[in-house]
Structures are given as C-alpha cells and as structure tokens.
Amino acid sequence: MHRDSATIFIGRIRELGETLSQLLSLALGLTPSTNEFISTNLTTANLNYYPPCPEPEVAIAANPHFDTSTFTILLQDQVGGLQVFHEGAADWVDVPSLHGALVVNIGNMLQLLSNNKMKSAEHKVFANAIVPRQSVACFFMPPIDFSTMSTKMYGPIKELVSEKYPAVYREASLAALWGSLYPDLEGSLRNPVLARLRIAYDKEVV
C-alpha cells in the first residue's frame, strides 16, 4: 500500500471507528457519561496477503476464529473467500466482496462488555488456487498498555447488569482475552475464551 494512501485510509477508518463506537453505545442504551466505547481506538491493522494455494481443498487461508477486538473494520478485495458462521443456520455463509464496501465484525471484547447483547462473529477465509487475495483488518480495542495488560480488567458494563440481566461473564484482562485466536484443545467449545469466562460455565456454553 502506498504510504500516502495508507495514511489517508487509516485516518478515515479511525473516524468511522469513532462514529461506530458512538452508534454501538447508543444501540446498547448507554449514556455518554458511562460510555466505555468512546475510548475504543484503532490499535492494530493486519495487512493480509493470501497467495494462491495449489491444493485449496486441503488447506484454509484463515482458520475459523473470533477477533479479540471490540469491533473490526475489514476491507477485502474482489476475490472473496470470507465466511461468517451463522448461528441460526448453524452453517458458514459467504460474505460477498462488494466494491467499496467495508465489513464490520463484532469481536470478543464487545460481547464481554455488552454482557452478551452483541455477539462476536466467528469467521474464516477459504483458499483458492487461482489468484492471490488481500485484505486489511483494522482492530478497535481499548488502548493497549503493555504494563497493565495482565492486570487491567474488563467485564460487562455496569449499566448493562441488573437483577434481571445478571453478569454473564467474569472480568478478564486483555492478556486473557487474547487467547481467542487459539483453538480449544478438546475442540468442543465454539468460543473457548468467552466460554471459560462464563459465570454459569457449568450449565451453559457459548
């Protein structure tokens, strides 16, 4: 990516992220004074390049995973291959590549903060034999401070917890949440990181 266009792109994505944070807070019914998403910022961008794969039927371009972010803004090229797991259909569905469109994924951080009101989207990318594919994934998170990574805790926003809607998750540090890219060793949990944070873990699994 050319340096000038990258700078402009990132600037615009930051603005869009701020607007999205505010809209998500509104959608959750949070008041501006307790809005914890306002501090959400663009922390990382993945520039993904997937070369053509000689044996796409036995390979995968990106393993199924949940992003750790509050939300992710994704730019994909025209090649396609991104799929999201649709809980209702219990199946993977294609996320078509539309020219000029951005995809927004909810990540594990928002599922945790929103006390399960917003669900993290599991996604994967399948490989193709013919053309390379590129994407830019921009991750929005609370600011990352490596000195407090294991000690600063995040949990369901107080305003979203009540007697009627008790906290679904215990609090977790960013370091603990970061495990979400790694599959469950026993392979039985769809979202192992959040499943292990569930307060009613014994009774119910995410």
Give the x-and-dash track for 49-68 against Fe ion (CB under 5 A): ------------------x-
Residue with tokens 């790694």: 182
Binding site for ligand AKG (CB under 6 A): 46, 48, 62, 67, 74, 76, 82, 123, 125, 135, 137
Query: Looking at beta carbons only, is 136 or 172 nearer to ligand AKG?
Result: 136
DSSP secondary structure letter of residue 58: G
**Gyration radius (Cα) of the chain, Å:** 18
Spatial separation of the C-alpha atoms in residues 123 and 109, rounded to whole Å: 16
Q: Which of ligand AKG, Fe ion, none does residue 79 bind (CB under 5 to 8 Å by kind)?
A: none
From the list Fe ion, ligand AKG, none, which binds 48 (C-beta under 5 to 8 Å, kind-based)? ligand AKG
Distance between CA atoms of 137 and 142, rounded to whole angstroms? 16
74 binds, among Fe ion, ligand AKG, none (CB under 5 to 8 A by kind): ligand AKG
Strand boundaries in the chain, DSSP class E: 41-50, 62-65, 71-76, 82-86, 91-94, 102-106, 123-125, 133-141, 153-154, 172-173
Toward ligand AKG, which CB reaches closer, 62 or 127?
62
| 8 versus 181: smaller Cβ distance to Fe ion | 181
In the complex, the smallest distance separating the C-beta of residue 136 from Fe ion, rounded to whole angstroms, is 12
